[in-house]
C-alpha cells in the first residue's frame, strides 16, 4: 500500500531502510567528500569508461565524481545508452526526411518510441530493440526481458500495447550451442508475451554461422492510443512529485548496458561469469503495470513518464530531468528494495524489470496513489522537480549525486570513428555465382527445391511460432506464416495496421548500402502484400565492434541506404536501436540492419493472405525477373557460397508494386499475395500451395524474364516481385489495376501438386514432408 505523505516511504521501503540503518553511513562517498579527496583512485575502467571519458566527467562537474555519479555516467555513457559511436551519423535521418514525410509523424526519433497518425483520431507507436548479449548468456531471461523492455517503451508513450513481433538470428542449426540458446530464447519470448496477453504476429528466425557466438534477439512492440493521449518523458514544473512505481529494485541487471551490451565477448560469454548482468522478468507484474498505467492515463494524473529499462534509475532520473525545464531532487534511500544490502550506486545501476517513473502534480498525487493502490502496484514518492539546473540525489540526507542531467543523459561523448571499406569485399564480390553448377534437368530442379525447403532458413517455423499465442485479444487478422502481421486497432471500423520485419544479412555483407535498402524494400513489400499502405519505419541496427573501421564503414553505408531509401519511398524513420559489439574476438556478425515497416489499412477484413485457397484461380507474377543469384538462398544451401553482387535495388518499382497491391486488396480482387524473396519463385510457389493444400500448374515459366532458363526463373531473387492468385471472375478487373507494373500470367490453381510444365511435379505431401520436420528433428530429439 502507498502512503499519501510527501515525500514518503511505503511500508516495505520503511522496513528496508530500518534493516540498513544500523550499517551507518561511515565511508559513504558524498559530493562533499569527493570535493575534499580529489586524488582517490576510482574504478572507471572496470565500469567500462575510457580514460578520456573519465577526465571529461571530472571537467564537467569540476571535481572527481562520487562512486554513485561514476556509476551513473558509466551506464549512461555506455555504447548501448549514449550511441556515442553512431549518433554522428544520425543526421542522415533528418537530411532525408521531407516535410511531406513528417505530416503523419506525431513523435519522432529521440523519445521512447515513434508515434504516427493512422487516421480517425487514432495513433500507433512502434519500435524494435535488441537484447542480444543477455540472450546468449541467459537465453530465457534475456529474451523475456527484451520483450518486457520494449513493451514498457510503448506503454510509456501512453499507448496500450496490442501486439509484439520478434526477429531472431542464431548460429548453425546443428551446433550444440544453438540447441542450448534457441529453445531458451523462444521460450522466453513466448512465455513473457503470452503471459502479458499480447499476440505475437510475426518476425523472423534465421540461421547463419556468423551468429554462433552472438545470436540476435530483436523484439518489436506496437501500441495504439487516441492522438490526444500521447505522453512524453519529461520532468517539468517545480514542485511536481517524482514517483517510482511497480516492482521493487533488486541486484539483477547491474552493469547490463555498460559491461554486457557495450563490449565484445573475447572468447564467448559464459553463463557463470555474466548472469548477474542479466535482468529477471515477471510478466504477471508487467501485465498489472500495463493496466495500472492505462488507468493513470485515463485519469489524466500523469505529467511525464519514463520506463526503467537499460541503466535503470540512472536513465529514468537523468532523462526525465534533462527533458524538463528545471532540476530534480531524489531521495534514493526511499527506493523500495528486494535486497537490503544494495549500495547506492548499485541501486542506481540496477536494471530490475517492471518499474516505471512518473512526474505528477501535487494536486493529483492522491488520485495517482489511489489508482496504484487499486491495482496493488507499489508506488513511492522519491523526489520532486526543482527550480535548479542539476539532478541532485541524496542518501539519508547526504548528497551523493549533483550533476547537470543533460551531461548524463544526452551530452555524452561523441566519437568520429574511422571508416574504411573492408579489404575482403573486392574478392568477395568478384567471386560471383556464375561458376556454380546449376541443375541440368527439371528433375534435378525439383530435387533441389525439396532440399531447400528443408534447409535451416526455409523450413517450417511452426516449432517456434506454435509456442506463441497469435490470437489472444481477438484482434489479429494475419500472422505467421503470412508475409505480414495484421492487427485491428479500432473494433468499430476495422481500422488496423500491418507490420513486417526483414533483413538478409548476406546481402548486407556483400554491399551494406544495398543490403539495407533490400531489407527496407522487402519489409515494405510484405506490408503492401497484406493490403496495407506502408507508413513508417523502425530499425534495429546490429553490427560488430565500432572500433573496427570496416564495421563503421558498414554501419555508415547501411544508415545512408536506409535514410535515402526512406526518402525515395516517402516513409519516415520513427526511431529504433543500435546494437554494436556483436562479435566474438575478431569475428563480427554480418551487418544486420533489421527493418520494421508499419502500414495502415482502413479495414482489416480486406487483408490478403499468402496462400492459394481455391481451385481455378489465375496465378500471376508481378514484377521483373533478372538473373540475380548473388547472396541467394540457392547459392547458400546448395553450394555454401556467398559472393557476387546482391539483387539490384529498385525502390520505384517497389512503390509502384505496393500501390497495385493495396488497390487490388481494397477492390477485393485478390485471393492471395505472397512476396518473392529468399529462394525466389520456386519457394513462393511451394509455400503458397502448402498454406491451404491447394496445388498449382505453372505453364508460363517461359514468360518470366526475357531469355531466362527455367532454373533462373525459379530461383532468382530479384526484388519488387509478388506472386498473386486472382479468382477467374476477377481477372479482368485485376489486370486493369496493374498499370505499368510487369505482370505475367504463369498458371492456375488446382489439384494437389506443384507442377511446373516440362520441368517437374512434386506433390504437396512431398513438399510438406521436406518442409515440416527439420526443426522438430533437432529440438525434439
Mean pLDDT of 376-386: 97
Return the ∠ at Cα 579 (arms to 573 and 585), rounded to 5°: 150
- Residue 254: the pLDDT is 80
Mean pLDDT of 207-236: 93
pLDDT at 16 over 60: no
Mean pLDDT of 388-415: 95
Mean pLDDT of 224-238: 90
Mean pLDDT of 642-669: 98
Closest by CA position to 509, among listed 562, 588, 574? 588
Phi, psi of 298 (to 5 degrees): -65, -30
DSSP 259: I
Alpha carbon dihedral 679, 682, 683, 689, in 10-degree steps, equals 170
585 band by pLDDT with thresholds 50, 70 and 90 = confident
pLDDT at 15 over 90: no
Q: In b/e form, how buried is each residue of 254-278, taking b as 16+ CB within 10 angstroms?
A: bbbbbbbbbbbbeeebeeeebbbbb
264 band by pLDDT with thresholds 50, 70 and 90 = low
Residue that the C-alpha cell 534447409 belongs to: 455
d(CA 233, CA 244): 14
d(CA 584, CA 133): 11
Mean pLDDT of 416-426: 96
DSSP 89: G
- Ranges of H-type helices in 45-122: 51-61, 67-76, 79-82, 91-95, 99-102
d(CA 774, CA 205): 13
12 band by pLDDT with thresholds 50, 70 and 90 = very low
Which of the following is catalytic: 80, 231, 345, 674? 80
Q: In b/e form, how buried is each residue of 342-361, taking b as 16+ CB within 10 angstroms?
A: bbbbbbbbbbbbbbbbbbbb
- Residue 24: the pLDDT is 32
Q: In whole numbers, what is the pLDDT of the chain averaged over residues?
A: 92
111 band by pLDDT with thresholds 50, 70 and 90 = confident
Mean pLDDT of 426-434: 96
CA 354 to chain centre: 19
Which of the following is catalytic: 89, 131, 345, 674? 131
- 3-class SS string, 295-364: HHHHCCCCCEEEEECCCHHHHHHHHHHHHCCCEEEEEHHHCCECCCCCCHHHHHHCCCCCEEEEEECHHH
Mean pLDDT of 371-381: 98
Q: Where are the beta strands (DSSP E) in 637-694?
A: 672-675
For residues 613 and 671, is the Cβ–Cβ distance under 8 A? yes
3-class SS at 156?
Answer: coil
All three cell numbers of 294, joined, read 492505462
Q: Where are the beta strands (DSSP E) in 404-532?
A: 476-478, 485-488, 496-502
Quick: pLDDT tens for 445-459.
999 999 999 999 999
All three cell numbers of 498, joined, read 500491418
- pLDDT above 70 covers a percentage of the chain that reads 93
Return the ∠ at Cα 483 (arms to 480 and 485), rounded to 5°: 60
- Residue 263: the pLDDT is 52
* Residue 345 bears catalytic tag: no
pLDDT at 114 over 70: yes
Q: Residue 169 forms beta bridges with which residues?
A: 206, 216
For residues 193 and 286, is the Cβ–Cβ distance under 8 A? no
H or E element, residue 22: none
Quick: pLDDT tens for 36-64.
999 999 999 998 899 999 999 999 999 99
Cα atoms in the Cβ-side hemisphere of radius 13 Å centred on 492: 3
Q: Residue 130 forms beta bridges with which residues?
A: 218
Mean pLDDT of 150-154: 95
pLDDT at 186 over 50: yes
206 band by pLDDT with thresholds 50, 70 and 90 = very high
- pLDDT above 90 covers a percentage of the chain that reads 87
pLDDT at 616 over 60: yes
Alpha carbon dihedral 673, 676, 680, 681, in 10-degree steps, equals 20
pTM of the model: 0.93
- Residue 276: the pLDDT is 52
3-class SS at 115?
Answer: strand
110 band by pLDDT with thresholds 50, 70 and 90 = confident
Alpha carbon dihedral 770, 772, 774, 780, in 10-degree steps, equals -140
d(CA 242, CA 20): 23
pLDDT at 268 over 60: no
Closest by CA position to 453, among listed 221, 322, 637? 637
- Residue 234: the pLDDT is 82
**Please, what sign has the CA dihedral across residues 638, 639, 640, 644?**
negative
H or E element, residue 126: strand 122-130
For residues 160 and 436, is the Cβ–Cβ distance under 8 A? no
Hey, how many other C-beta atoms are within 10 angstroms of the C-beta on 341? 10
All three cell numbers of 187, joined, read 521460450
- Our separate counts of H helices and E strands in the chain read 29, 28
Phi, psi of 160 (to 5 degrees): -85, 120
Closest by CA position to 704, among listed 719, 716, 692? 716
Q: In b/e form, how buried is each residue of 427-460, taking b as 16+ CB within 10 angstroms?
A: ebeeebbeeeebbeebeebbebbbebbbbbbbbb
Mean pLDDT of 618-623: 98
* Stretch among 231-235, 330-334, 631-635, 720-724 having the lowest mean pLDDT: 231-235
Quick: pLDDT tens for 665-678.
999 999 999 999 99
Mean pLDDT of 455-472: 97
Phi, psi of 410 (to 5 degrees): -130, -25
Mean pLDDT of 453-480: 96
- Residue 781: the pLDDT is 67
All three cell numbers of 635, joined, read 547459392
CA distances from 704 to 55, 334, 620, 646, 707 (A): 64, 70, 10, 20, 9
* Residue 175 bears catalytic tag: no
Q: In b/e form, how buried is each residue of 55-90, taking b as 16+ CB within 10 angstroms?
A: ebbeebbebbbbbbbbbbbbbbbbbbbbbbbbeebb
Amino acid at each position: 500500500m502507498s502512503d499519501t505523505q510527501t515525500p514518503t516511504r511505503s511500508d516495505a521501503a520503511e522496513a528496508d531502510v530500518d534493516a540498513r540503518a544500523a550499517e551507518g553511513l561511515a565511508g559513504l562517498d558524498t559530493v562533499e567528500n569527493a570535493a575534499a579527496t580529489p586524488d582517490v583512485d576510482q574504478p572507471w575502467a572496470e565500469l567500462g569508461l575510457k580514460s578520456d571519458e573519465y577526465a571529461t566527467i571530472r571537467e564537467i562537474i569540476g571535481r572527481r565524481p562520487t562512486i554513485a555519479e561514476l556509476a551513473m555516467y558509466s551506464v549512461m555513457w555506455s555504447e548501448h545508452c549514449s550511441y556515442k559511436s553512431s549518433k554522428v551519423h544520425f543526421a542522415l535521418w533528418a537530411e532525408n526526411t521531407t516535410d511531406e514525410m513528417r505530416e503523419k509523424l506525431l513523435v519522432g526519433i529521440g523519445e521512447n518510441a515513434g508515434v504516427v497518425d493512422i487516421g480517425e483520431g487514432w495513433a500507433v507507436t512502434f519500435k524494435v530493440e535488441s537484447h542480444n548479449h543477455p540472450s546468449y548468456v541467459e537465453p530465457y531471461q534475456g529474451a523475456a526481458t527484451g520483450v518486457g523492455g520494449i513493451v514498457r517503451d510503448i506503454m510509456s508513450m501512453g499507448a496500450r500495447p496490442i501486439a509484439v513481433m520478434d526477429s531472431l538470428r542464431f548460429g548453425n542449426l546443428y551446433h550444440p550451442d544453438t540447441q542450448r540458446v534457441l529453445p531458451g530464447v523462444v521460450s522466453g519470448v513466448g512465455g513473457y508475451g503470452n503471459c502479458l496477453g499480447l499476440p505475437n504476429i510475426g518476425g523472423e528466425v534465421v540461421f547463419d554461422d556468423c551468429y554462433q557466438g552472438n545470436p540476435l534477439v530483436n523484439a518489436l512492440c506496437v501500441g495504439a492510443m487516441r492522438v490526444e493521449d500521447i505522453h512524453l518523458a519529461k520532468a517539468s514544473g517545480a514542485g511536481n512529485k517524482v514517483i517510482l512505481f511497480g516492482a521493487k529494485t533488486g541486484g539483477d541487471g547491474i552493469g547490463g548496458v555498460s559491461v554486457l551490451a557495450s563490449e565484445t565477448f573475447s572468447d564467448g560469454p559464459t553463463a557463470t561469469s555474466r548472469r548477474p548482468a542479466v535482468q529477471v522478468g515477471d510478466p504477471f507484474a508487467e501485465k498489472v503495470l500495463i493496466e495500472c498505467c492505462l488507468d493513470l492515463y485515463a485519469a489524466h494524473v500523469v505529467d511525464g513518464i519514463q520506463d526503467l529499462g537499460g541503466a535503470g534509475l540512472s536513465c529514468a532520473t537523468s532523462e526525465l530531468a534533462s527533458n524538463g525545464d528545471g532540476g530534480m531532487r531524489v531521495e534514493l534511500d526511499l527506493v523500495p528494495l528486494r535486497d537490503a544490502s544494495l549500495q547506492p550506486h548499485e541501486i542506481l545501476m540496477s536494471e530490475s524489470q517492471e518499474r516505471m517513473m512518473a512526474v505528477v502534480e501535487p494536486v493529483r498525487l492522491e488520485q495517482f496513489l489511489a489508482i496504484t493502490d487499486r491495482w496493488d502496484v507499489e508506488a513511492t514518492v522519491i523526489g520532486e522537480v526543482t527550480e535548479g539546473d542539476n539532478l541532485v540525489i541524496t542518501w539519508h540526507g547526504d548528497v551523493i549525486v549533483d550533476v547537470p542531467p543533460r551531461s548524463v543523459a544526452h551530452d555524452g561523448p561523441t566519437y568520429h570513428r574511422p571508416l574504411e571499406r573492408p579489404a575482403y569485399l573486392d574478392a568477395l564480390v568478384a567471386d560471383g555465382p556464375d561458376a556454380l553448377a546449376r541443375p541440368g534437368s527439371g528433375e534435378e530442379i525439383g530435387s533441389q527445391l525439396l532440399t531447400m525447403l528443408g534447409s535451416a532458413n526455409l523450413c517450417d517455423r511452426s516449432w517456434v511460432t506454435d509456442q506463441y499465442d497469435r490470437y489472444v485479444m481477438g484482434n489479429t487478422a494475419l500472422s505467421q506464416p503470412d508475409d505480414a502481421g495484421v492487427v485491428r486497432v479500432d473494433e468499430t471500423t476495422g481500422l488496423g495496421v500491418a507490420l513486417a520485419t526483414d533483413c538478409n544479412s548476406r546481402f548486407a555483407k556483400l554491399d551494406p548500402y544495398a543490403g539495407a535498402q533490400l531489407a527496407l524494400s522487402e519489409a515494405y513489400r510484405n506490408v503492401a502484400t497484406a493490403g496495407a499502405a506502408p507508413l513508417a519505419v523502425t530499425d534495429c541496427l546490429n553490427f560488430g565492434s565500432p572500433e573496427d573501421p570496416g564495421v563503421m564503414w558498414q554501419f555508415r553505408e547501411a544508415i545512408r541506404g536506409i535514410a535515402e531509401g526512406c526518402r525515395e519511398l516517402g516513409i519516415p524513420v520513427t526511431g529504433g536501436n543500435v546494437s554494436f559489439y556483436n562479435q566474438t574476438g575478431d569475428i563480427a556478425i554480418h551487418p544486420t540492419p533489421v527493418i520494421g515497416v508499419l502500414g495502415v489499412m482502413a479495414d482489416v477484413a480486406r487483408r490478403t493472405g499468402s496462400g492459394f485457397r481455391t481451385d481455378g484461380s489465375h496465378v500471376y507474377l508481378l514484377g521483373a525477373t533478372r538473373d540475380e543469384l548473388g547472396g541467394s538462398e540457392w547459392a547458400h544451401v546448395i553450394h555454401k557460397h556467398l559472393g557476387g553482387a546482391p539483387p539490384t535495388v529498385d525502390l520505384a518499382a517497389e512503390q509502384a508494386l505496393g500501390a497495385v497491391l493495396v488497390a487490388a486488396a481494397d477492390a477485393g480482387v485478390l485471393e492471395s499475395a505472397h512476396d518473392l524473396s529468399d529462394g525466389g519463385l520456386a519457394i513462393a510457389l511451394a509455400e503458397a500451395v502448402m498454406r491451404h493444400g491447394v496445388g498449382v500448374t505453372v505453364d508460363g515459366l517461359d514468360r518470366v524474364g526475357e531469355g531466362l532458363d527455367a532454373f533462373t526463373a525459379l530461383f532468382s531473387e530479384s526484388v519488387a516481385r509478388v506472386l498473386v492468385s486472382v479468382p477467374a471472375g476477377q481477372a479482368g478487373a485485376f489486370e486493369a489495376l496493374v498499370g505499368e507494373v510487369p505482370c505475367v500470367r504463369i498458371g492456375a490453381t488446382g489439384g494437389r501438386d506443384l507442377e511446373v510444365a516440362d520441368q517437374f511435379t512434386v506433390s504437396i505431401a512431398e513438399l510438406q514432408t521436406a518442409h515440416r520436420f527439420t526443426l522438430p528433428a533437432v529440438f525434439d530429439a
